[in-house]
Amino acid sequence: MFTPRLITLPIFGLLLAGPVLQAQTGTQSTAIHAPKYIPETRTIAHNIGNRTVVIKVIQYGEPNGIYCINMHDNEGTAVLGAVPVLEMTGGTLIRVENFKQRVIKFRLNGVLYGFDPNRIYSRIGIGQTLRDNRNYSLKAVLEIEKFAGRLLALIPDTAKCLIALHNNTNDLFSIKSYVPGGIRQKDAKAVFYNETEDVDDIALTTDSLIYKVMADAGYNSIWQDNVKAKKDGSLSIYSGEKGIRYINIETEHGKVEQYRIMFEKLMAWLLSPPTQPVENPEEEKESTGTQNLLIIN
Ligand SMILES: [Zn+2]
């Protein structure tokens, strides 16, 4: 049982205007600065059944502990938003190439299989996504498990943060999925819902500090309940279980500029984090007065 607590606080127009001002500043700074880093790309060809899936590892500067992963090849808005920031901050970008499609298809012993590459980080998740895409066999599960292992091996234990680059379709998956009555309410330990932001533009993280950073910046934010969240084989669940600092930044398709400013906010903090850790982000939030709705499960 959950007893959600709703706190409605006054909206201060000036404070909520913050992200808009920041967007303008960010746009100008990108326009006048040449990229600091020209990336080097390593190409990995990984076989799954009869398919060869190309994984690109794009390195901006020396490895700095920031690992971005774009698993859904039809979600290019996120990449377009992240790249100009990575050109300035440095970091590693991992891309799975799949003909601009979400579902990866392959044949094994004459049977066609399909899977969602963000449902492959547990055996149960792999089984479920295979069934969702019609055909299941243990051999197919083992092939996909090897692919998941290949991707995870690209992210070292020393990673400071793992950032998943995603986009969504209008209203299908949004902050509303996590508020009381939403289908994923129980997956969240805390939710910050800013009604002046697009419901599709969200940050979902395993980490209380990152949750606070993004919520304080005014973005719709979810702190995943790393124990209770549904075990769906996604990278967020895997990261929560392994204690990996993870964030998924997700905007609606086509909103490159919104993506860029959210990503930039996160990167600025990651590369110069505050020295004082905050143990209870929800208590902090109550006193700031910048939010209009905070839900703590
Ligand atoms: Zn995605």
Residue 31 predicted with pLDDT over 70:
no
How confident is the model at residue 210, as a pLDDT?
98
Q: Which candidate, 236, 235, 238, places its Cα nearest to that of 222?
A: 236
Give 289 Cα–ligand 1 centroid separation in angstroms: 32
* Gap from CA of 252 to ligand 1 centroid (Å): 11
Residue 273 has pLDDT above 70, yes or no: no
pLDDT at 30 over 50: no
The CA distance from 102 to 50, in Å, is: 18
Angle in degrees, 0-180, between the axes of helices 138-152 and 123-132, rounded to the nearest 10: 120
C-alpha 204/C-alpha 181 separation (Å) is 18
- Tell me: pLDDT of 238 over 60: yes
- pLDDT at position 145: 98
Q: Which whole number is the average pLDDT over 57-86?
A: 98
Confidence class for position 173, pLDDT limits 50, 70, 90: confident
Distance between Cα 100 and ligand 1 center (Å): 12
Q: How confident is the model at residue 170 (pLDDT cuts 50, 70, 90)?
A: confident
User: How far is ligand 1, taken at its centre, from the CA of residue 71, in Å?
Assistant: 7
Q: What is the mean pLDDT of residues 126-148?
A: 98
Using DSSP, state whether 56 is helix, strand or coil: strand
Question: Does the predicted TM-score (pTM) go above 0.85?
Answer: no
Cβ count within 10 A of residue 88: 18
Q: What is the 41 CA–ligand 1 centroid distance (Å)?
A: 22
pLDDT digits (tens, 9 = 90+) for 90-116: 999 999 999 999 999 999 999 999 999
Mean pLDDT of the region 234-258: 97
- Cβ atoms of 104 and 53 closer than 8 Å: yes
Lowest mean pLDDT among 34-38, 161-165, 279-283: 279-283
Q: Please report the pLDDT score of residue 27 as a whole number.
A: 44
Q: How far is the CA of 287 from the centre of ligand 1 (A)?
A: 34
Give 2's Cβ-side CA count (13 Å radius): 19
Distance 7 CA to ligand 1 centre (A): 31
Q: At residue 14, does pLDDT exceed 80?
A: no
How far apart are the CA of 14 and the centre of ligand 1, in A?
Answer: 33
C-beta of residue 152 within 8 angstroms of C-beta of residue 265: no
pLDDT at 50: 97
How close is the Cα of 32 to the center of ligand 1, in Å?
Answer: 31
* Rounded distance from Cα 248 to ligand 1 centre (Å): 9
- Burial, 187: exposed, middle or buried (Cβ in 10 Å; 0-12, 13-18, 19+)? buried
Interval 283-287 mean pLDDT? 44
- 223 neighbors 281 (Cβ within 8 angstroms): yes
Comparing 185-194, 221-230, 281-290, the range with the smallest average pLDDT is 281-290
Q: How far is the CA of 118 from the centre of ligand 1 (A)?
A: 7
Which residue do the tokens 């992200």 mark? 19
Q: Looking at the domain covering 5-187+206-271+279-296, what would its CATH class be?
A: alpha beta
- Mean pLDDT over the full length of the chain: 87
Q: pLDDT tier at 8 (50, 70, 90 boundaries)?
A: very low
